[in-house]
Amino acid sequence: MAYWIASSPHNHIQGSTPALMRLVIYATIPGILAQWYFFGWGNLIHIGLALTTALVAEFTVLSLREKKVAEQLFDGSAMLTAVLIGISLPALAPWWISVLGALFAIVIVKQLYGGIGHNPFNPAMAAYVMLLISFPVQMTSWQPPLALMSIPLDFSNTLSVIFTQFTFDGYSLEQLRTHVDGYTMATPLDTVKTNITLGLTISESMNNPVIGEYVGEGWQWLNAAFLLGGLFLITQKAISYVTPLSFLASLFICSLIAFLVSPDSNASTLFHWFNGATMLGAFFILTDPVSGATSVKGRIVVAALAGFLVFIIRKFGGYPDAVAFSVLLCNMAAPLIDQYTRPRTYGHS
Amino acid sequence: MESVIERIEKGHFWKFHGGIHPPEMKFLTKDKPIRPLAMPPELTIPVQQHIGEAGKLIVKAGDVVKKGQALTQSLMPLSVPVHAPTSGTIRAIENAIIAHPSGLSELCIKLTPDGEDKSIARHITPDYTSLSKHDIIEKIAQSGIAGMGGAGFPTHIKVNTHAQINYLIINAAECEPYITADDLLIREHSTTIADGINILDHLLEPAFILIGIEDNKPEAIKALQKATANNDKVKICILPTKYPTGGEKQLIMALTGKEVPSGVLPSKLGIVMQNIATCFAIAEAVIHDIPLTKRVVTVSGRALEKPQNVWALLGTPVEFLLQQCGYPEQQRKHIIMGGPMMGFSLPNTQVPVVKITNCVLAPSEQEIPNDKHEVECIRCGQCADVCPSQLLPQELQWSAKANDQQQLETLNLFDCIECGACAYVCPSHIPLVHYYRVAKAEIRQQKQLDIKAEKAKKRFEARKARLEREKLAREEKHRKAAEARKARMNSGTEQANKEKSAVAAALARVKAKKAQTSNTENVENKELASDQQDKKSQVAAAIARAKAKKQAAVQESSPAQTESQPPTPENNQGDENKKAQIAQAIAKAKAKKQAATSQDTEVENHEELNEAVKVAPVDDKKARIAAAVEKAKAKKQVAPEKPSELDTDKTEETAATNSPADDKKARIAAAVAKAKAKKLKEKNPQSAPTTVDASTNEEQEKEVAITPPLEASEEKSAQALDKKARIAAAVAKAKAKKQQAESK
């Protein structure tokens, strides 16, 4: 009789990497729901497009690389990347934006670097930055919250805009983005940035309808939903609280200092926290273990650096949001940070 | 120190980094009393069951032994004996698979119990304080006690420390899942354990005795509190359940807040740790004079019908234990010796229980599945979070896979205690500990090779230095001796003068000899100098004749004709038959050689040579000389492009030695051959082979015109050997000169 021979330890937690990835995908659901509620079907359609593209691309590359397709295709990592791309794109961007983004993320950023576990950059954010630089018009044409839109947008019309750039009634994206008062609506971050260059103070900007009641119509709830999903991940021990805490604290400190120095030209901390991709970045992007630092200390440093960069780019950079850029910059810095943040081994001084 | 005890008394402990909470699974066996087992049909007692050296066997197959009788003898400090767990006959002493992850075989004593369980005489010592410390340590050593927690380090070494001990820590943590052996032992034998602790107290005289026990053993804690109530030094420290609290370094950290520096023994910090089961064994040995021959083993796992704790005799096959606990055939998939975190798989069930065996685990397939699909590391860092040694397991894994030994050591691979926490939490199911074990083994092997290489280098360098030294010493000695001699010679005494003259004479002699040797090329000089002119001249004549013939043959340039010619002189001269024969042989060979172009192979020449030898059977010696000469020549001819003087010389030398009687003759012949060889050599390199042949032929034609008449007259006047010889020499000389001139 032959007995199993195995190396210790023999028992093992029930969790696995695919399960972890699935959990993270589930945690995005509140955010996606908020997006759907405030911005319509756009992002859901993009998530669908990105998912399909990502799975096809993953399947093709895995087959070419003669990997175990069945095992790796549904390990959740490609799906998570696709979901994150779908979430982060402007809701009414043309269909090829998400297809191109997913292709780039999977084929170039992930698989060409060696596949899961080997990519130095976060695939979703690298794809986002590539799209933003290559197609600035499409990537900055953000759809305003449904509540502010003069032309109602249902599922079929959204689909039509994404695939043909026009609704069934012939409205273009530009017309959709136009406020009843006749000006094009932008994201709160964009609005504040533009207003500052126009010489308006923050408090004046806060009266803009896109800001809404608190710090950003729609966007604030979107961020709150991602915060909720992130907290769920922390309670499930899928991610460590260290990275989001460090990132948000860093952003908090930077924006608070700026706000205290000049309240007229700097938005409040809450505005920074609940606008753009802050919460998504804090809980779903920066916590990507593959492209981040490995030690706890390293993660604190990386996340703090990301928070600082987000603030700097939002304040002084040419782009209204900065999470994707700062994440990529931190990915680059992570190996070096790892080098200098090794924990002290027990028994060593 | 005060604060440490204060904290402990308050129930505050330190935290070690990391740790995990695997399912405890202790409920399977924790409420079942330790059951004594029936006698197994055979015991397999490995000679070595501890860390260190094996003891020396003192029994042989067929011996009848009694319970408690020593089977091996410890001769080294790091060895402990093994004892017969029961009375019986030693069936054999042979290799069997032992309880080791490698599954290798080692020497085991096979004991067939007789069922009587007769013990050797025991000397019970109720009051151990009446014994000296040395006697107690000796008793511990002779009872074969080695750490029963897992490592199996000989206990008598640990208790024989001269360091000032602040804390004696008794490890009762038993943090591995499933195992309840210590728990049950404490509950049932707390007084004996207390005795053991008191003996250790007596030996080590620590300031405090800390018993570290996890809070999942409330009954054992109570029993211990009761049993140790009379010893004020004892503090029972109830620690939160966390794996691996029972690791030596982790328990020290948790109880005292001290970190044991890497590569340092805890005794340096004034800390000694003993397992609680070892304390029981010590009490048994010192007080009851019972050597270590049995231990509590948790036999657990869902594959068993009746998981329980048993008293197992050392050497009991695992199969017997499993049978006693009901191990159905269809469940037989996986057996682990030790706990699920650090235990190892057994290759079969015949492996015996040894001193360090605290658990035999037979899990069901659902319990511990064998479906470890390793996937890529996603650098999640959970491993680093749980590592009690604060290592970076994932970075270690990268380096281990890349076999980067330097980086592995930078990352402190050797501080890994192989607790398995990292692999337990890894979501990618990477068998991290396995990678580390392999890497550690490779590094150890590499280090051993390095040490070997270093030793070899040192040896070599030492030898070189010694040779150099000796050379210098020798030179120095010679120089001194020479100086002394010079001084003596220059001292002007009579003896000195004598010595001087003697030296001068010797020098002169040497010079003369040298001159002689240099003249050997000159055939004439040599002939004059030699005593046996007869023979020499004969040879010379023969050579000369042979040459003449050869020249003639060349002219005809037909091997057949050459062969037909020689008989003529042979018939004419009756008295000089022999000589003629040799000459003929030489001539033949030469002719052939000449006829052949420079492309002739050596083989051909050898054949010719053989022919020549056959023709001249009468005078062996002379023939041999001639042959040698020929051979040398032939060789030179064959390889004109790359002539090797050394080879030629050698051949000549051989020829000379072949005929010791005709030394001189041989020398002459050799000289002649040498001269010719030189000539040829001088010529050949300057022109292409064909040109050489042409020129040689031309020249030889001239020679032929002169030589034959001379030869004829020589042969007729047989008495005038002197003259002949001289003529021959002259001829040779002339030829040499001509050849030289030509070549220039």
Q: Which domains does chain B have, with CATH numbers?
A: 14-345 (3.40.50.11540), 372-519 (1.10.1060), 533-743 (no CATH)
Residue A348 lies in a domain: no
Structure confidence at residue B498 (pLDDT): 77
- Res B217 pLDDT > 90: yes
Which of B99-108, B253-262, B689-698 holds the top average pLDDT?
B253-262
- A118 domain-assigned: yes
Q: Based on the domain organization, do A158 and A44 belong to the same domain?
A: yes
Mean pLDDT, rounded, for B635-651: 50
Residue B729's pLDDT is what? 73
Number of domains comprising chain A: 2
Helices (H), B272-381: 276-288, 318-324
pLDDT at A333: 95
Q: Which residues contact B273 (CB under 8 A, 6 or more apart)?
A: B168, B169, B170, B171, B248, B251, B252, B266
Domain span including residue A210: 188-216+234-337
B399/B405 Cα distance (integer angstroms):
7
Report pLDDT for B637.
Answer: 60
Q: What residues of B are in contact with residue A17 (Cβ under 8 Å)?
A: 375-376, 378, 380, 427-428
**Cβ–Cβ contacts within 10 Å for residue B130, how many?**
8
Chain B residue closest in CA terms to A14:
B427
Q: What is the mean pLDDT of residues B393-399?
A: 91
pLDDT number for residue B539 = 72
DSSP B599-625: T--HHHHHHHHHHHHHH--S-HHHHHH
Domain annotation covers residue A226: no
Both ends of chain B: CA-CA distance in Å? 105
Interchain pair A1, B348: CB under 8 A: yes
**Cβ partners under 8 Å of residue B328, min gap 6:** B303, B305
Closest CA to A115 of A71, A85, A84, A83: A71
Q: How far A20 CA lies from chain B's nearest CA (Å)?
A: 8
Interface of B with A in 418-477 (CB under 8 A): 418, 420-421, 423-429, 431, 433-434, 437
Q: Does B197 have pLDDT greater than 80?
A: yes
The per-residue pLDDT of chain B, averaged, comes to 80
Q: How far apart are CA A266 and CA B231, in angstroms?
A: 70
Pairing relation of β-strands B344-345 and B43-46?
unpaired
- Considering the domain architecture, whether residues A57 and A149 belong to the same structural domain is answered as yes
Q: What percentage of residues in chain B have a pLDDT greater than 70?
A: 73
B427 closest CB neighbour out of A11, A17, A296 = A17
Subunit contact A346:B380, Cβ cutoff 8 A: no
- The verdict on a CB contact (< 8 Å) between A345 and B378 is no
**Closest residue of chain A to B262, computed from CA coordinates:** A347
Q: What is the pLDDT of residue B536?
A: 63
Contacts of A92 (CB under 8 A, 6+ apart): A42, A141, A143, A158, A161, A162, A173, A176
Residue A228's Cβ-count burial label (10 Å; 0-12, 13-18, 19+) is middle
pLDDT at B618 over 50: no
Residue A243, domain member (yes or no): yes
| Nearest residue in B to A68, CA atom | B375
A68 vs B576, which has greater pLDDT?
A68
CB of B22 within 8 Å of a chain A CB? The answer is yes
Q: Please indicate, yes or no, whether residues A28 and A145 belong to a single structural domain of this protein.
A: yes
Residues A199 and A332 occupy one common structural domain: yes
Single-letter code of the amino acid located at B609? L
**A15 CA to chain B: closest CA distance, Å?**
6
Q: What pLDDT shows up at residue B714?
A: 46
Better pLDDT: A78 or B162 = A78
pLDDT at A175: 85
The answer to whether residue B596 scores a pLDDT higher than 80 is no
Using 50, 70 and 90 to split pLDDT, how confident is the model at B659? very low
Residue A228 belongs to a domain: no
Residues of chain A whose C-beta is under 8 A from some C-beta in B?
Answer: 1, 3-13, 15-17, 19-20, 71-72, 75, 77, 115-118, 240, 289-290, 292, 294-296, 299, 342-349
> Span B19-36, mean pLDDT?
91
> Using CB atoms, which residue from A7, A10, A118 is nearest to B368?
A10
Residues in A touching B349 (Cβ below 8 Å) = 3
Which of B331, B376, B382, B409 is the best substitution to test chain A (most A C-beta atoms within 10 A)? B376
pLDDT at B719 over 80: no
Residues A180 and A208 in one domain: no
Contact across the interface for B379 and A294, Cβ inside 8 Å = yes
**Does B179 contact A at CB distance below 8 Å?**
no
Structure tokens at A169: 């009634």
Res B639 pLDDT > 70: no
Is residue A342 in a domain? no
Task: Output the pLDDT for position B184.
Answer: 94
Establish if A52 belongs to a structural domain.
yes
Q: Are residues A38 and A127 in the same domain?
A: yes
- Tell me which chain A residues have a C-beta less than 8 angstroms from the C-beta of B431: 7
Confidence of residue B315 (pLDDT cuts 50, 70, 90): very high
- Report cis status (omega within 30 of 0) of the bond before B328: no
Other beta carbons within 10 Å of A220: 22
Phi, psi torsion values for A101, nearest 5 degrees:
-60, -45
Asked, for residue A229, whether it belongs to a domain, the answer is no
Q: Are residues A193 and A303 in the same domain?
A: yes
pLDDT for A5: 80
| pLDDT under 70: residue ranges of chain A | 1
Q: How confident is the model at residue B48 (pLDDT cuts 50, 70, 90)?
A: confident
Q: Are A196 and A50 in a shared domain?
A: no
pLDDT for res B367:
85
Chain B residues whose beta carbon lies within 8 Å of the beta carbon of residue A77: 378
On chain A, the residues whose CB falls within 8 A of the CB of B421 are: 9
Same-domain status, A324 and A192: yes
Same domain, A192 and A165: no
Question: How far is the alpha carbon of B112 from chain A, nearest alpha carbon, in Å?
Answer: 25
DSSP single-letter state for residue A108:
I
By mean pLDDT, which of A254-258, B216-220, B611-615 is the weakest?
B611-615
Considering the domain architecture, whether residues A22 and A124 belong to the same structural domain is answered as yes
List the single residue in B338, B372, B376 with the smallest CB-CB distance to A116: B376
Instruction: Print burial letters for B278-305: b (CB count within 10 Å at least 16), e (below 16).
Output: bbbbbbbbbbbbbbbbbbbbbbbbbbbe
Whether residue B343 and residue A12 make contact (CB cut-off 8 A), yes or no, is no
pLDDT in tens, B256-302: 999 999 988 888 889 999 999 999 999 999 999 999 999 999 999 99
Task: State the Cα angle at B674 between B673 and B677, rounded to 5°.
Answer: 85
Query: According to DSSP H, which parts of B596-688 are helical?
Result: 602-615, 620-638, 645-658, 663-683
Q: Is the pLDDT of residue B569 over 50?
A: no
Over residues B614-636, the mean pLDDT reads 60
B341: contact with A, CB 8 A cutoff = yes
Nearest to A11 among B177, B335, B412 (CB): B177
Give Rg (Cα) of chain B: 48
- A69 lies in the same domain as A181: yes
8 Å CB contact of A292 and B379? yes
Taking CA atoms, what residue in B is nearest to A77?
A: B378
Considering only CB atoms, which chain A residues are within 8 Å of B370? 4, 6
pLDDT grade, residue B329 (50/70/90)? confident
Angle, to 10 degrees, between the axis of helix B181-204 and the axis of helix B218-227? 30
Q: Mutation test of the interface with chain A: which of B264, B371, B379, B418, choosing the one with the most A Cβ atoms within 10 A?
A: B379
